């Protein structure tokens, strides 16, 4: 088999040419996240740990290479049937939306976004508790207080919804940003703090999920080696289109996680100010 027609070589070229695997500096920088590790009272002591998120890229690369290696192994019809079942039985018949959820559950590392979000919400609860304590204490002293505490509510199970729905992630993060920006507590702080956090931009995928063709992949392939290989390539093609969409969701998660870290540190400054005034 000539090198230029080898499925493995072709797949490697496709992976690198499409930027599937984060193997260059620019791609790694785009996927670098900074997450808060220590839940401490002081903003200056909140530890930031750096990670590079490229789990979906690895999933895509592994799937494509697995099929390519199988193709060059001169498989029998029996082997093709087994490989077909192993690789694709879980996704046959799924809609694009269902396939997207499947890949997110299979490949996307959800813990960083979930942890960052829940810590941020918990910290907002701490801020509100400290504000109420300060207002009560100053009110008992007969002092006039100019404090603005906006309302903020979240949808049920929002900590899970934001993982699968980029629009919900954008709207929820911006709701938190709007809350912090409108929070007016300088009158009870030891030193005023200006909060002008920028909003999270919307998720704009290169290929929207609803633009990906939805074709029937639940029809039995032709009962030959070539028939099974062709069917597996067709299903792989569709899976990779949806996986590319999920890969962009992962990049968006990286952007929002870093945004949440900035929000968290701003909230920590508010906590420091409230604690030092207590």
Domain locations in the chain?
A: 3-277
pLDDT at 4 over 80: no
Task: List CB contacts of 113: < 8 A, sequence separation 6 or more.
Answer: 162, 163, 169, 253, 256, 257
Q: Taking all residues of the chain, what is their mean pLDDT, rounded to a whole number?
A: 83
Q: How confident is the model at residue 17 (pLDDT cuts 50, 70, 90)?
A: very low
- The whole model's pTM is what? 0.84
pLDDT at 206 over 60: yes
Give φ, ψ of 34 to 5 degrees: -120, 115
DSSP letter, residue 184: B
pLDDT at 145 over 80: no
Please give the pLDDT value at position 2. Answer: 44
Between 19 and 123, the more confident residue is 123
118 C-beta neighbours (distance < 10 Å), count: 11
Residue 184: beta bridge partners?
A: 148
Distance CA(114)–CA(120), nearest Å, equals 10
Exposed, middle or buried by CB within 10 Å (0-12, 13-18, 19+), for 154? middle
């Amino acid at each position: 088999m000539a090198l230029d027609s080898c499925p493995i070589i072709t797949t490697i070229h496709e992976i690198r040419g499409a930027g599937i695997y984060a193997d260059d500096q620019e791609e790694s920088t785009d996927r670098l996240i900074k997450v808060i590790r220590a839940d401490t009272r002081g903003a200056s002591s909140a530890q930031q740990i750096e990670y590079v998120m490229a789990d979906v890229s690895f999933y895509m690369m592994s799937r494509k290479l697995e099929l390519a290696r199988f193709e060059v192994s001169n498989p029998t019809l029996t082997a093709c049937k087994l490989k077909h079942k192993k690789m694709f039985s879980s996704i046959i018949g799924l809609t694009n939306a269902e396939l997207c959820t499947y890949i997110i559950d299979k490949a996307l590392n959800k813990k960083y976004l979930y942890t960052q979000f829940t810590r941020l919400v918990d910290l907002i609860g701490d801020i509100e508790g400290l504000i109420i304590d300060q207002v009560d204490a100053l009110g008992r002293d007969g002092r006039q207080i100019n404090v603005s505490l906006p309302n903020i509510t979240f949808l049920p199970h929002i900590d899970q919804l934001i993982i699968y729905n980029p629009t919900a992630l954008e709207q929820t993060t911006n709701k938190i940003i709007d809350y912090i920006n409108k929070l007016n507590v300088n009158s009870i702080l030891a030193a005023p703090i200006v909060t002008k956090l920028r909003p999270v931009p919307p998720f704009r995928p290169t290929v929207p999920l609803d633009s990906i063709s939805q074709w029937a992949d639940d029809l039995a392939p032709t009962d030959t080696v070539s028939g099974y290989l062709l069917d597996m390539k067709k299903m792989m093609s569709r899976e990779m289109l949806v996986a590319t969409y999920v890969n962009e969701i992962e990049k968006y998660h990286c952007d929002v996680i870093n945004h949440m870290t900035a929000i968290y540190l701003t909230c920590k400054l508010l906590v420091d100010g409230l604690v030092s005034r207590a």
